[in-house]
Chains A and B, each alone.
Chain A
Amino acid sequence: MQQLFFFGKHTISNTLNIYIKTSNGSTLSMNLNPQWDIKNVKEIVGPKLGLQPEELKIIFAGKELSDTVIIADCDLGQCSVLHAVKTKRPVKFDNSGVFSEELEDVGSKPLCETLKDLSNNEDLPDNNQQPKAHFYVYCATCKAMKQGKLRVRCHFCKSGAFTVHSDPQSWTDVLESKRITGQCENRPEECENILNNTEPTFADFYFKCAEHTSLGEDDEAVPLFLVRSNVRSIPCLACGDVCNPILVFPCLEGHVTCLECFNVYCSSRLRDRQFYQHAEYGYTLPCPTGCEHSYITEVHHFRLLSEPQYAQYQKFATEEYVLNAGGVLCPQPNCGMGIIPEGDCRKIACIGGCGFVFCRLCLQGYHIGPCDLPDPDNTDRKDCDYNVDPVRASQARWDEASKVTIKVSTKPCPKCKTPTERDGGCMHMVCTRSGCGFNWCWVCQTPWTRDCMGSHWFG
């Protein structure tokens, strides 16, 4: 349905509604015929600003567009913003007062036409045969991976009236700031004078979703820069098919999977809770072949998981983060709130969650004195002057039943104390909690040794 609507909009109405921001701060709304060229645009905009068309320059995505550029080639979407500024070039007229056609056209093609496919390899030879760039983004509005559009603005004043001195040559140029210099046309003097001219004016790159109507200049999308067009027809390392687009892992080898297999990879690691909590990047995965230094640095790539899987990813990521930060998870069933207590306090209240107050050490209800006291059921409760809510009482029995089950069927990892269930197999246990990985013996509950293997490998 969405697809039909999309096509319909382009073929039936056949005009683009574009906003033109001018140097005096006003914004014009215009309907453009995609077959027009930039000269046509200048002829319409010029009079509205009291300028000759020749005195204008039209800036879009970091480029001053030349007069002969056709609107349809500019990668503009509905409600995109063009910038019109007064040029500082002297405008010459010939004797008849008509603009001289022989004057050099200083503008260029749009960025989407000049930009070559970006590679992480910065030494890529300049090759005109290289295909044009394709970008993929996670769009929070569409809630999906979509084609993206690269846009440029001034690093200092954030205005889109900005032209770059050179095209970005690599993903590093785009993702890291202060790599590409340019000229701010919005308030050039101020932006050039920032930092007392010790630095040139820099370009800021950002991305927009190419599929929904622009919601304004702040409508950004996160680049999924590991998702690329498969321009070299590399087969997926898992299924062997040549797919497009693909996911290129950040290892030296640049291992490739198709997006379907990336999903299988992530979901199988998620099921086993085998993601890694990286101090800098967050809850992430390396290249599936185990290459060194291959962790995915932008965790938005895990948005390629299905909604329920992504929700589980976020839950696990939060829990790992809390545990790594020395926090605790509320032990109440269906709560699990992450709490990072201050100091060494043993009494933890689940504030903002279920309100349960518990002991940090044994994760049972808070108690005075050491943990592991005899079962509190033995204490005389008849003197208590409070009413027991029957709903809570039944839940309490359920908790009790769960506790018994966990006590009977699990043993704590000797290192990290995570309750561990053994569902068959040998007695050699490897803790699956990320960051632990302790090798221990189910029988001895101590580190696994050659003796364990010799005497009770299988019980």
Chain B
Amino acid sequence: MAGLSPSERRLQKELMSLVKEPPPGVTVNSDLIERNLLQWLINMDGASGTLYEGENFQLQFKFSNKYPFDSPEVTFVGPNIPVHPHVYSNGHICLSILTEDWSPALSVQAVCLSIVSMLSSCKEKKRPPDNAFYVKTCNKNPKKTKWWYHDDSV
């Protein structure tokens, strides 16, 4: 793996372990990612027995060359954005580990598990209360949003 930067070496290892032992419902297209290690597309199935059973979602991860000291930029993309109180209709996710609670000890796998569990614990499919306003005015990069994480129950 000579010639790769530390962040690329880390991402290479994360990719290998994710392909080898993916969390339930998570699949990656490793050929696509190997062409550009700094941007990943991950497929996620709604867990059975939850409100999202039978649905498929796509998550996009963007990494900077400071990863894992900088958090990844994670959004839902594609035709189906989950309807959830912490997911805006433009795909932005309000999840503290994606910004201020990020730690380099976390990983793509840990983020996927968090998002799966966030979806699974949902009791009512609805958009965040400020969705329309947020989506109209926000920056394209969710990391430019300073969220107040107040509701951990859903």
Contact surface of A with B, Cβ cutoff 8 Å: 236-241, 255, 258, 260-261, 264-265, 268-269, 288-290, 424-426, 428-430, 439, 448, 450, 453-454, 457-459
Given contact pairs A425-B144, A453-B148, A238 touches B133 in the complex (Cβ within 8 A)? no
- From B107, which residue of chain A is reached at the shortest CB distance? A240
Q: Which residues of B sit under 8 angstroms from A264, Cβ to Cβ?
A: 6-7, 66, 69
Q: Which of B54-62, B77-85, B111-119, B134-142 contacts A (4 or more CB under 8 A)?
A: B134-142
Q: Which of B35-87 contact A (CB under 8 A)?
A: 66, 68-70
Q: How far is the CB of A212 from chain B (nearest CB, A)?
A: 30
| A269 / chain B contacts, CB cutoff of 8 Å | 69
Distance in angstroms between the alpha carbons of A239 and B7 in the assembled complex: 6
- Whether A239 contacts B10 in the complex (CB less than 8 A), given A268-B70, A426-B144, comes out as yes
List A contacts of B66 (CB < 8 A): 264, 268
Complex Cα distance, B27 from A332, in Å, reads 57
- In the complex, A211→B49 CA distance in Å? 65
* A425 contacts B146, C-beta separation under 8 Å: yes
The answer to whether A459 touches B137, judged by C-beta atoms less than 8 angstroms apart, is yes
Binding site for A on B (CB under 8 A): 6-7, 9-10, 13-14, 66, 68-70, 103-105, 130, 133-134, 136-139, 141, 144-146, 148
Q: Which residues of A contact B146 (CB under 8 A)?
A: 425-426, 428-430, 439
Top 3 nearest A-B pairs (CB, nearest first) are A425-B144, A458-B137, A428-B146
A265 proximity list for chain B (CB < 8 A): 69, 104
Question: Closest CB-CB distance, A418 to chain B, in whole Å?
Answer: 17
The prevalent SS among residues of A at the interface is loop
Known interface pairs A264-B66, A289-B103; A426-B6 also in contact (CB < 8 Å): no
Return chain B residues, CB-CB under 8 Å to A288: 69, 103-104
In the complex, what residues of A have CB within 8 A of residue B130's CB? 453-454, 457
Contact A268–B69 (Cβ < 8 Å): yes
Interface centre among A261, A454, A458, A459 (most CB of B within 10 A): A458
B140 to chain A: closest residue by CB: A424
**21 A-B contact pairs sorted by A residue (CB < 8 Å):** A236-B6, A237-B105, A238-B10, A238-B68, A240-B9, A240-B14, A255-B105, A264-B69, A265-B69, A268-B70, A290-B103, A425-B144, A426-B144, A428-B145, A428-B146, A450-B148, A453-B130, A453-B148, A458-B134, A458-B139, A459-B137
A456 to B: closest C-beta gap in Å: 9
Given A237-B105, A288-B69, also A426-B9 (CB < 8 A): no
Most chain A CB inside 10 Å of its own CB: which residue of B10, B136, B146: B146
Given the contacts A268-B70, A425-B139, A258 and B105 also touching, CB distance less than 8 Å: no
Nearest B residue to A241 by beta-carbon distance?
A: B9
Q: How far is the CB of A78 from chain B (nearest CB, A)?
A: 35
On chain B, the residues within 8 Å of A459 by CB distance are 137
| Complex Cα–Cα for A450 and B66 (A) | 32
Q: What 7 new A-B contacts, CB under 8 Å, besides A239-B6, A240-B10, A458-B133?
A: A240-B13, A240-B14, A260-B6, A265-B104, A450-B148, A453-B148, A458-B136
B6 A425 Cβ-Cβ under 8 A: no
**Bound complex: CA A290 to CA B10 (Å):** 20
CB distance from A291 to the nearest CB of B (A): 9
Minimum C-beta distance from B96 to chain A (A): 13
Residues of A near B7 (CB, < 8 A) are 238-239, 264
Select from chain A the residue with minimum beta-carbon distance to B70.
A268
